[in-house]
Amino acid sequence: MAVPVEATEAGARAATERLELETIELRLLLEGVFRHYGYDFREYALASLRRRVWRRVNAEGLGSITALTDCVLHDEACMARLMRDLSINVTAMFRDPHFYLAFAEKVIPQLRTYPFTRIWVAGCATGEEVYSLAIMLAEHDLYDKTRIYATDINELVLEQAREGVYPYERIREYTENYVRAGGRRDFSEYYVAAYGNALIDSRLRENVVWAQHNLAQDASFNEFNVILCRNVLIYFDKSLQNRVHRLFYESLERFGTLCLGNKESIRFSSHEDCYEELDAEARLYRRVT
């Protein structure tokens, strides 16, 4: 057990100075990673980033963030390990089943009135949400008149998404989610099992356009009826979040729908007044201005 910490004014001042210095080191690491490798984490939520960076510092057996910067800039393998720590891709097919139930109830009826629907899945990671959406649209006879634009900043995960191959051990979880999400058929109709993997039915890919897109830097590339961006903004700091909200606002047609993650609310963003709430719990918002 470490020596117990005691409160003293001088101690607090020294600790605050060390913390400020550490913040400078963290900023320098992110700047270096951006300039040398092009990955931009500079506007990610800082507190969680700090913790993940320290985890890598400790795992490498180093003593400071500056030591990690040195390592990362001169050793691509070390950078790859840091990347794995920094890019969290928590996803699953039909994750948050209640979202799909709410989408079917509140958004699908509107989509039926359109001759053609364009949907943008922003930050699609390895594609689980894209295929879930495709399945739901197919079961509501809307897939044939829909195009899904699935984008991510990371080419590697985009490649995985395009392949649509998932570990078979997750299929049970996905099947349970599918049933709770209001799935109307047998989930096994949508994949083929092979060599410990599940290969998603290629028909679910036919109307999907995959593309690399950087939410932090790239402009709007189309006008959409629906934008789905779930559990991506949560990793960004406030200013980047607001920039992305502006991008979404400019990319969404009037009365189009924005779908956010479970714990993401339009309320604390710069575009709060541009939307009305379609479903509070499922975080469905309709653009009204």
Strand (E) or helix (H) holding 171: helix 171-180
Residue 113 makes contact with another protein by CB under 8 A:
no
Residue 52 makes contact with another protein by CB under 8 A:
yes
CA angle 168, 164, 198 (to 5 degrees): 20
State in angstroms the smallest separation of the CB of 269 from another protein. Answer: 7
Q: Which pair of structure tokens corresponds to residue 119? A: 């949907």
State in angstroms the smallest separation of the CB of 247 from another protein. Answer: 17
Site mask, another protein, residues 248-267, x = CB under 8 A? ---------------xxx-x
Residues 73, 234, 243, 253: which binds another protein (CB under 8 A)? 234
Residue 45 makes contact with another protein by CB under 8 A:
yes
Q: Which pair of structure tokens corresponds to residue 51? A: 């913790």
> Which residues, including other chains, have CB under 8 Å from residue 191's CB and lie 6 or more apart?
166, 171, 198, 199, 200, 201
Residue 270 makes contact with another protein by CB under 8 A:
no
Residues 19, 21, 80, 192: which binds another protein (CB under 8 A)? 19
Residue 81 makes contact with another protein by CB under 8 A:
no
- CA nearest to 125, candidates 162, 147, 163, 152: 152
Return the SS3 of 117: strand
Bridge partners of residue 284, in order along the sequence: 259, 279
Strand (E) or helix (H) holding 122: strand 117-122
CB nearer to another protein: give 237 or 253: 237
Bridge partners of residue 260, in order along the sequence: 229
CB nearer to another protein: give 13 or 184: 13
d(CA 32, CA 132): 37
Residue 9 makes contact with another protein by CB under 8 A:
yes
Residues 146, 151, 231, 251: which binds another protein (CB under 8 A)? 231
How many residues lie near another protein (CB under 8 A)?
Answer: 34
State in angstroms the smallest separation of the CB of 272 from another protein. Answer: 11
d(CA 210, CA 187): 24
Select from 27-35, 40-48, 201-209, 247-255 the region that touches another protein (CB under 8 A): 40-48
* Cβ-contact 245, 270 below 8 angstroms: yes
> Which residues, including other chains, have CB under 8 Å from residue 99's CB and lie 6 or more apart?
181, 230, 259, 262, 282, 283
Residue 21 makes contact with another protein by CB under 8 A:
no
CB nearer to another protein: give 13 or 112: 13
Residues that bind another protein (CB under 8 A): 1-2, 4-7, 9, 11-12, 15-16, 19, 45-48, 50-52, 88, 90, 231, 233-235, 237-238, 241, 263-265, 267-269
